[in-house]
Structure 1
């Protein structure tokens, strides 16, 4: 992964310049700390659109979140038997956390944290902007569920919705089982 240099003198290092040239990026010191973000963002948009256009077209999903989910799924194609397996891989599968008479679930703490963060981002965008999700959150809040429980349910719901699109994108790229 290409990372932004930490100090100004690193912009001139041979290794850094070679890496930029290798990927076709041009270094620029016009804005401090942002030498190739716009080019990288455009390249990521183009790659995500090529790999999974139907995934990027969904509400609340941009190129960064789509790429994160595709990379997580593509790194482990042998584990993708169903949407529950992908949910476990992303750390959004429910685990029972019941005690006594209270039956509840919590999120799996394992899994890929970047993919979990991508799902959280999608959930936040949809909770704030999509009327269907806003109604869902309102209904679940009135039922007495906590915000954490609502997030858990939303992330699992989103994973169930996106699983076929992710698999389709991986198959188009030749990385799916």
Structure 2
């Protein structure tokens, strides 16, 4: 088995073949980032029939090359940039750095240190992550547009518009405005443009949500059966987590999501605080689900929250306990969905 480490850059990629048993470099190739050069790289790599590609940052700069290789039947593992940096630091030569050294370090990490992770072909998980990113951008654009509309409405109407302003409400208010000069006419025209933009953004957000729901249902996910988890939250969870099986335990998942409490030193008794590490966007999803369940009287989360309050915990402590419990629940549901889909595919094959 030969490991081919790849140090990717925006315009060039450097590959180094390493013999794992001796950690000896047996070949290196630098290519331009183009399809023709990709084919040249694969032809060069076929010198070694048994090979594995170790691509540094395979979900970033190395994503295109990694997915291109996977589509052609190659085995690819992702190596974090921080891990290759450690290898360079501890190896002979100290802090020396160039593309060939980085590529060799990626291969070394993949074989010796266990920091690598196998990369799979892009699927519905990637599609949901893209839709979620697009939704965040649309929502931010809508907030900016509504704020601009509020600023204009303050100068067009006494007291301005209400805080929760929809496009229809703004259009109704604007119809009552009778501009008396050029300045007010411009303000009203601009406000009409902003109302039209808000309608467009609302339509795109609705379409985005519908596409998310269709993909979640196509993935045979049961996340939406949990109170507080709709299409958007389910899509965000799947897009952020990917395969639940990459976490060996529910505790590992909770730690990754920043939902596992951290013990802090105290002279009187052991105390805990919220973890500030982990995936903060995933933590935000768990927080949203917890808040929604607390407000739903018939939900299991509401009953659990009230039980924790009756035990003497504060509202913050009870919510923290609920987030930790939800992290366990989400991991179990996603793991069950993954296993069910895998078994169905195995049976069909």
Any conservation in 2 of the 1:48–1:67 contact (CA below 8 Å)?
yes
Give the whole-Å Cα distance in 1 for the aligned partners of 2:302 and 2:224: 21
Residue from 231, 248, 252 that aligns with 1:63? 231
Residue from 205, 210, 220 that aligns with 1:37? 205
Give the whole-Å Cα distance in 1 for the aligned partners of 2:227 and 2:220: 14
Shift of the 159–52 alpha-carbon distance from structure 1 to 2, 3 Å rule, reads farther
Report the alpha carbon displacement of residue 43 of structure 1 after superposing the two structures with TM: 0.2
Give the number of equivalent residue pairs: 154
What is the aligned partner in structure 1 of residue 306 from structure 2? 138
| 1:83 counterpart = 2:242 | no
The range that moved more, 160-169 or 89-98, is 160-169
Give the whole-Å Cα distance in 2 for the aligned partners of 1:106 and 1:35: 41
Report the alpha carbon displacement of residue 51 of structure 1 after superposing the two structures with TM: 2.1
Report the alpha carbon displacement of residue 47 of structure 1 after superposing the two structures with TM: 0.9
Any conservation in 2 of the 1:52–1:168 contact (CA below 8 Å)?
no
Any conservation in 2 of the 1:92–1:152 contact (CA below 8 Å)?
yes
More helix by share: 1
Shift of the 91–116 alpha-carbon distance from structure 1 to 2, 3 Å rule, reads same
What is the aligned partner in structure 2 of residue 100 from structure 1? 267
CA shift digits 1:45-69 (9 cap, x unpaired): 1111222431111221111111222
Higher CA-based Rg? 2
Give the whole-Å Cα distance in 2 for the aligned partners of 1:124 and 1:30: 27
Give the whole-Å Cα distance in 2 for the aligned partners of 1:121 and 1:29: 28
| 1:121 counterpart = 2:288 | yes
Report the alpha carbon displacement of residue 170 of structure 1 after superposing the two structures with TM: 4.2
Give the whole-Å Cα distance in 2 for the aligned partners of 1:128 and 1:72: 25
Instruction: Select the structure with the greater relative contact order (CA < 8 A; seq sep ≥ 6).
Output: 1
Any conservation in 1 of the 2:245–2:335 contact (CA below 8 Å)?
no
TM-score normalized with structure 1 length: 0.73
More strand by share: 2
In the alignment, structure 1 segments of 5+ residues that lack a partner are: 9-27
Any conservation in 1 of the 2:308–2:318 contact (CA below 8 Å)?
yes
Residue from 48, 53, 74 that aligns with 2:242? 74
Superposition RMSD in Å = 2.9
Any conservation in 2 of the 1:83–1:159 contact (CA below 8 Å)?
yes
